[in-house]
Amino acid sequence: MVSVGNEHRLDARGLLCPMPVIRTQERVATLQPGDTLEVVCTDPGALHDIPAWCRVHGHEVTATRREGTVITITVRVAGT
Amino acid sequence: MAIPLAASSPTVASSTPRKAVALISGGLDSLLAARVMLEQGIHVEGINFYTGFCVEGHTHAIRREHQDKPKRNNALWVAEQLGIKLHIVDVIEEYKSVLLNPKHGYGANLNPCLDCKGFMVKKAREWMEQNGFDFIITGEVIGQRPMSQRRDTMPVVARESGAFDRLLRPLCAKLLPETLPEREGWVDREKLLDFNGRSRKPQMALAARYEFVDYAQPAGGCCFLTNEQYSHKLADLWQARGSREYDLDDIMLLKVGRHLRPRPHFKLIVGRDEGENNYLEGYRKRFISLRSPVTPGPLVLIEGENLSEEDLALAARLTARFGRGRESTGVTIEIARPGEAVRTVTVAPLPADEVPAQWYL
């Protein structure tokens, strides 16, 4: 089942890890289950840290895109 | 507040397990402490504080020499090993008052370890109260750290954090007075540990028992403030500014590059490899930057104001000195001021014997 939630965007460009993860965590805390958050960042460390953070909290990474130095990671917020 | 009747064995007697928030640094001790609690049927979630001085994370990613190692966040890695949630908390702003005015002073460098531990346990206590958790655990071991982890300072942390007897240190609990979770029977004191001293052997044996491999063992702990060279650079920054203000960029830049102060009013930050050059690149809008457009070498930032032509010439000669053209007679260097056209000069690299050791921070 695919639940359709609201789409949100977080600009974490220029931040170094663990700041992109911290900003993602803060933002996800304000979202509803099923919502998606597109995190845009430039630190390659986020490619490891954001999925790891999602795994320990049960959220899902639905897409990862890399265009030049810009990385976009899409997170679907888990139910509580 | 009503305290439920104590159960003799929480794993079998209580349907809703007691909840502990664990301070997780990413190192071995806090990993083991949390594991010991999970074994007793406690619900554990981790909390990790980011002060800006953490060795964790990005710094390993910047330098080229570390690029063969996986760029993982060790606190998140620990949480995954344990199967627990991890909450990473930004305390950069609040931490300033801990670093600038530590009630208990500094350790060997600019490390306010005792105040820092009290601060982190206090933050964990607030989190515990907000989230309906019952107690706090840490990976502290008596005698492990000269300032914060001593028999006489452990009660200071419990008291000043406001955690009191809701603070449990599973790795050395048998050597400390009974805490609330033990008294109430939430955890079995007999199954807690009695580690003490600087030896790492008991921890390594316990890690082997739990089959943990590949855990992080940072030589100087998890904080840059315990590092002598880092503390020296921070003290220099404060002295040069005449104030102990700092922001995140300041303390990040102290982690990167070679730092030289050839004159009291400016210093150079010299990239040591491609990774550092790329990182410093992001600061060219804020600082005067120098580099050779033709000869491989560092990107150099100048931090300081009111630079004279002689100062810039010296900075250019130093930039040439740290590049591959150091043996040649003339090296082309571009000098870029934020928002101005780039200037190009040709300079003689400064010979090694004209770079006094005291310039190096």
- Residue where one domain finishes, among candidates B223, B245, B276: B223
Give the domain extent around B171.
Answer: 19-223
Q: pLDDT by residue for chain B (361 residues), tens digit each?
A: 444 444 444 444 457 899 999 999 999 999 999 999 999 999 999 999 999 988 765 555 566 555 555 568 899 999 999 999 999 999 999 999 999 999 999 998 998 999 999 999 999 999 999 999 999 999 999 988 777 788 889 999 999 999 999 999 999 999 999 999 999 999 999 999 999 988 889 999 999 999 999 888 765 567 889 889 999 999 999 999 999 989 988 998 998 999 999 999 999 999 999 888 988 998 999 999 999 999 999 999 999 999 999 999 999 999 999 999 999 999 999 999 998 999 999 999 999 999 999 999 9
ipTM of the complex: 0.93
Cα distances from B192 to residues A28, A71, B29, B257, B293, in angstroms, run 36, 45, 14, 44, 62
Chain CA centroid to CA B238, Å: 19
Total domains, chain B: 2
Sign of CA dihedral A10, A12, A17, A23: negative
* Nearest beta carbon to residue A16 from set B80, B88, B252: B252
Residues 6+ apart with CB under 8 A from B70: A48
* Residue in A16, A71, A80 to test binding to B, most B beta-carbons within 10 Å: A16
**Tokens (6 digits) for B3:** 């305290």
Say if residue B188 is exposed, middle or buried (CB neighbours under 10 Å; 0-12, 13-18, 19+): middle
- B152 and B74: one domain? yes
Contact A45 B56 (CB under 8 A): no
- B170 and B312: one domain? no
Using alpha carbons, select from B265, B262, B251 the residue that is nearest to residue B322: B262
- B347 and B213: one domain? no
In angstroms, the separation between the Cα of residue B87 and the nearest Cα of chain A is 8
Contact B73 A44 (CB under 8 A): no
Sheet holding A7-12, edge to edge: A7-12, A36-41, A70-76, A60-67
CA B60 to CA B67: how far, in whole Å? 8
CA B150 to CA B107: how far, in whole Å? 13
Residues 40-59 of B with CB under 8 A from A: 50, 54, 56-58
Within a domain: B60:
yes
* Nearest beta carbon to residue A22 from set B70, B80, B88: B88
Within a domain: B49:
yes
User: Are B298 and B270 within 8 A, CB to CB?
Assistant: yes
CATH number for B77: 3.40.50.620
For residue B74, the chain A residue with the least C-alpha distance is A49
Whether A41 is catalytic is no
Contact B57 A44 (CB under 8 A): no
Q: How much of chain B is in helix, strand and coil states, percent to nearest 5?
A: 40, 15, 45
pTM of the model: 0.87
A53 contacts on B by Cβ (under 8 Å): 76, 86, 88
CA B360 to CA B339: how far, in whole Å? 29
